[in-house]
Structure 1
Amino acid sequence: MGLDAPVSTRKRYIAKWDAEDVDAWEAGGKDIAKRNLVWSVFAEHVGFSVWSIWSVMVLFMPTDIYGIDAAGKFFLVAVPTLVGSLLRIPYTVATAKFGGRNWTVFSAFVLWVPLIGTLYLMLNPGHSYTTFLLVAAIAGVGGGNFASSMTNINAFYPQRLKGWALGLNAGGGNIGVPVIQLIGLLVIATVGNTEAWIVCSVYLVLCGAAAVGAALFMDNLGNQKADLRAMGNTLKFSHSWVIAFLYIGTFGSFIGYSFAFGQVMQINFLAGGDTPAQAALHTAQIAFIGPLLGSIARPYGGKLADRIGGGKITLYTFAAMTLAAGLLVTASMIDDATAGAASTGVLTLLVVGFIALFLLSGLGNGSVYKIIPSIFEAKAQGLDHLNAEEKATWSRNMSGALIGFAGAIGGLGGVGINLVLRASYLSDAKSATMAFWVFLAFYVACVFVTWFVFLRRPTERTASDDARSPALATD
């Protein structure tokens, strides 16, 4: 694990790492893993913040100054979601090819490009909508950090601790969304909605700190393999596609609502008579709460899955998300029927519904990702031509590859949420009711898929998420 092959103080390289070696783990391996986890969380954290920066920038963009309406803003924040989701595929294989430490340093420094571009555009609002879209798309590089970080940490931790470690890593990254929204709130509350450059400047410093910290304290692992061929191999298993579908419902909900919640609230505040500055302040005071709770919930979703089972926690989560989406449908239908006359009650229901969805999606993120290593750990036991070490390596590499693929597909759910909301507001009803019905129907589908694949009785050819279940050893 590196105890017999010490970490080079110059290159920070570990030739051979076996997290399942309990003696080596207790003798110092867990300290190495924890150190890498800490800096991985920080780097992923700032990546998420930059990825979601345009969900904050739109609060600083009054339509009369920037010339972008509500529908245009929904599309503007959907673009980095799309780019970040697609980048997760190459980012997944990057840590194995270039080293987890090396790639973390690079991926943190590259965040300066969209930050500088965003800073320039916010100071010079006269540019075309296409220019704004291009710079927003470049911010998508922050979304790729999740895949490389999760793949890297998956390799550092043993099977028995993966749920908590992956949940903590992802949750610490996810919390970058509410943190940048809190910084935006602080700026709006103190100097108004015209000084967006301050937010960009803060993150230029934080990204630099993440890169330097990763260079000084993280390690590269020498026995890792997660190439595109491995990712292709994972897609031969039907469970991989199921995981990707379910992750659309959990992570897709989290990132999609993180980008859209503020805009939905701002639209309602403006409809209630707020000025653009008042709407920006009132929105910023609320928008960070949901992503914050969702981020905090993620490691606990993984921990609950470690104890109870990923399939069960995921099922319960989607059932509760269906009810929360029902609150959004109810609120929006009341608003449509009363033409906004019941605005206070509608806003209360919307906030409660969205916050519940954030919290539940965070729990679901952790539980779905716990299923991934369990699936391939169980499948590895059926590979009789491999010895124990080769089985562990196969399971680890396949899990890492699926983490990247599922993260990419899940992120596309965030794109869908913003595009569905945009279409809903452009419809004749000019409201979000249609979008909320779509979200509710999707969660119902996720409930059924989770039960059908992971929780039917073994005699019905279940695919239990228990790593010991022989049903997972074959596909």
Structure 2
Amino acid sequence: MATVEAPEFTFRYQQRGRWIDHWEPDNNEFWENGGRQTARKNLIFSVFAENLGFSIWVIWASVVTAMGSAGFHFMTGPSAVSNALLLTSTPTLVGAALRIPYTFAIPRFGGRAFTVFSAGMLLVPTLGLAWFINQPQTPMWVFMVLAALAGVGGGNFSSSMANINFFFPEGKKGAALGINAAGGNLGVAQTQLFVPLIITLGTHIMAKNPGGFRFGITLAVLMWIPFILIAMFGALRYMDSLSGAKSDGTSYKSALGNPHTWVMAVLYVGTFGSFIGYSFAFPTLLKANFPELAKIGWMGTLGNLAFLGALVGSMSRPFGGWVSDKLSGARITLCVFGGMAIATLLIMMSLSAKSFPLYLISFLLLFALSGVGNGSTYRMIPMIFTAEARRRASETGQDIGAALISAKRQAGAAIGVIGAVGAAGGWVLQQALRLSGLHYGNMNPAFWGYVVAYLAMGGLTWWFYLRSSFATGRAPSLAHANV
């Protein structure tokens, strides 16, 4: 009896979105015959949606600088800076908390459906803010709730990264995830550039009075609505979901029990926590420390140049990953923390000298270094878990192939945890600034705390990943692995 061979599976690229049951990007033939196009298509719409998530997440950083002029009494007087930092730090904390459940949502609901949902959630804080900003008697607690709702934009990062991670082969994930992350981070810079511009435009249209400022803020918020709707439509029509994108609970448990996950989480607090924390706080800090800039028309229109910080931080992130491939992520991270400590000291010097040029240059240096550090620490994570797996397999005789597969899964799980903790560091940074100003009348105590923290994080990097010999204890040094 003749044997009937099963028909060979052929993958076909489709422009329209769908559920894909068979996906093997590491198969070169599969990748070249439609896999690459499909992955690239999903990356494009993922970047667009994530970029909007970051834009709405950080929108309060620019809005709070105009709320006092818009007639909200709690944003004037001695408590104005403290209340502004409270409003800007709230979405940071909520966004950090949402990063873990958003990571698990992709395997549960599929990338296509959850991207539509997560983009649609951005309508709630934007429409809510557009309504209540025009109610002058609205109490601060209402704006706190709206700021918390804006935190959904911060959660979009984890779902977007988790989704794109499934689409690309191992050799191309780094570049794809780097593009995805940088595209999201740029949302911070574009918001801090365009929102002040639109607020200024609306204010001039309606004359410089509280009503004019409220109209300007309303325009600056509503301008995002069409883009959110486009992101929802694009994801629904064109993105795909992968049936094989399943979560691995065992890997998450292993990652949570691995001390390297928590060491890297602390380091990411220093890099990404600084980037997102200062991105939220920078417009308020500029207005509080150099109020005379508001009298310079073009500088006020550009949001007091606050967008430059997020811009250089976003653009330097891919460079951090690239240079880490050449010189090792741990060495770059150590240099980053030393540089960030120096930049923070320069910030304090600029405040003492009341020098705006030095202040701006120092902050831009700090942002650039935080971006490089974001890239270098992300590069370290998979290298650490791979090096650990190789060492353990060598010592115990475990199959190296199985060990490396487990390491990849643990690294993916650890990235979700590390990203959430790092984002929460942005909230801690802003609260330190707020409490320092509230209790000491200036922010120097907070800045001194950052200097100590950066030096301590540099010490942690050296201790665990750059020493020439193994450390005793639970988390050994991996200097031999060129992490």
Same fold (TM over 0.5): yes
Shift of 1:306: 2.9
Shift of 1:130: 0.8
Name 1:253's counterpart in structure 2.
274
1:77-226 alignment runs, 5 A limit: 77-192=88-203, 193-194=213-214, 195-226=216-247
Partner Cα distance (1:63, 1:191) in 2: 13
Distance change in 2, residues 1:42/1:458 (3 Å): farther
Name 1:452's counterpart in structure 2.
463
Distance change in 2, residues 1:101/1:374 (3 Å): farther
Query: Which of 63, 67, 71 is residue 82 of structure 2 equivalent to?
Result: 71
What TM-score do you get using the length of structure 1 for normalisation?
Answer: 0.88
Name 1:337's counterpart in structure 2.
none
8 Å Cα contact 1:175-1:291 kept in structure 2: yes
8 Å Cα contact 2:470-2:478 kept in structure 1: no
Shift of 1:454: 1.6
Partner Cα distance (2:58, 2:299) in 1: 17
Shift of 1:40: 1.2
The farther-off stretch of 248-257 and 361-370 is 361-370
Matched, 1:295 2:314: yes
Look up the SS of the partner of 1:225 in the other structure.
Answer: coil
1:36-47 alignment runs, 5 A limit: 36-47=42-53
Name 2:207's counterpart in structure 1.
none
Distance change in 2, residues 1:213/1:395 (3 Å): farther
Name 1:408's counterpart in structure 2.
420
Name 1:29's counterpart in structure 2.
35
Deviation track 1:399-451 (CA, whole Å, cap 9, x = no partner) reads 332222111100111101110111111123x2221111111111111111111
1:311-460 alignment runs, 5 A limit: 311-332=330-351, 334=352, 342-343=353-354, 345=355, 347-381=356-390, 388=401, 394-428=406-440, 430-457=441-468
8 Å Cα contact 2:102-2:156 kept in structure 1: yes
Name 2:210's counterpart in structure 1.
none
Distance change in 2, residues 1:87/1:198 (3 Å): same
1:160 partner amino acid: G
Name 1:231's counterpart in structure 2.
252
Shift of 1:283: 6.7
Look up the SS of the partner of 2:244 in the other structure.
Answer: coil
Partner Cα distance (1:260, 1:465) in 2: 39
2:45 partner amino acid: W
Name 2:18's counterpart in structure 1.
12
Deviation track 1:309-364 (CA, whole Å, cap 9, x = no partner) reads 222222222221111111112223x2xxxxxxx53x2x222211111111111111
8 Å Cα contact 1:317-1:364 kept in structure 2: yes
Distance change in 2, residues 1:163/1:303 (3 Å): farther
Look up the SS of the partner of 1:17 in the other structure.
Answer: coil
Partner Cα distance (2:265, 2:9) in 1: 37
Deviation track 1:367-409 (CA, whole Å, cap 9, x = no partner) reads 1112222233444555676784x66654443233222211110
8 Å Cα contact 1:78-1:418 kept in structure 2: yes
In structure 1, stretches of 5+ residues that fail to align are 335-341
Name 1:310's counterpart in structure 2.
329
Distance change in 2, residues 1:25/1:309 (3 Å): farther
Distance change in 2, residues 1:111/1:274 (3 Å): closer
Shift of 1:267: 0.6
Look up the SS of the partner of 2:478 in the other structure.
Answer: coil
Distance change in 2, residues 1:325/1:150 (3 Å): same
Partner Cα distance (1:8, 1:74) in 2: 47
Look up the SS of the partner of 1:265 in the other structure.
Answer: helix
Partner Cα distance (2:189, 2:436) in 1: 26
Partner Cα distance (2:97, 2:142) in 1: 21
The farther-off stretch of 115-124 and 56-65 is 56-65
Distance change in 2, residues 1:375/1:274 (3 Å): closer
Partner Cα distance (1:405, 1:39) in 2: 24
Deviation track 1:277-324 (CA, whole Å, cap 9, x = no partner) reads 969926704100010111111122222223332222222222211111
Shift of 1:223: 2.0
Look up the SS of the partner of 2:431 in the other structure.
Answer: helix
8 Å Cα contact 2:11-2:30 kept in structure 1: no
8 Å Cα contact 2:15-2:238 kept in structure 1: no
In structure 2, stretches of 5+ residues that fail to align are 1-7, 204-212
1:107 partner amino acid: S
Corresponding residue pairs, total: 453
What TM-score do you get using the length of structure 2 for normalisation?
Answer: 0.86
Partner Cα distance (1:374, 1:95) in 2: 25
Deviation track 1:107-146 (CA, whole Å, cap 9, x = no partner) reads 0011101111111122223111111101110111000001
**Percent identity over the alignment?**
39
1:54-69 alignment runs, 5 A limit: 54-62=60-68, 65-67=71-73, 68=75, 69=80
Look up the SS of the partner of 1:431 in the other structure.
Answer: coil
1:284 partner amino acid: G
Look up the SS of the partner of 1:235 in the other structure.
Answer: helix
1:40 partner amino acid: S
Partner Cα distance (2:274, 2:267) in 1: 10
Look up the SS of the partner of 2:257 in the other structure.
Answer: coil
Look up the SS of the partner of 1:39 in the other structure.
Answer: helix
- Note the aligned Cα RMSD (angstroms): 2.7
Distance change in 2, residues 1:129/1:222 (3 Å): same
Partner Cα distance (1:226, 1:380) in 2: 20
Partner Cα distance (2:469, 2:233) in 1: 50
8 Å Cα contact 2:320-2:371 kept in structure 1: yes
Partner Cα distance (2:13, 2:241) in 1: 9
Q: Which has the larger radius of gyration?
A: 2
The farther-off stretch of 451-460 and 194-203 is 451-460
Partner Cα distance (2:409, 2:224) in 1: 33
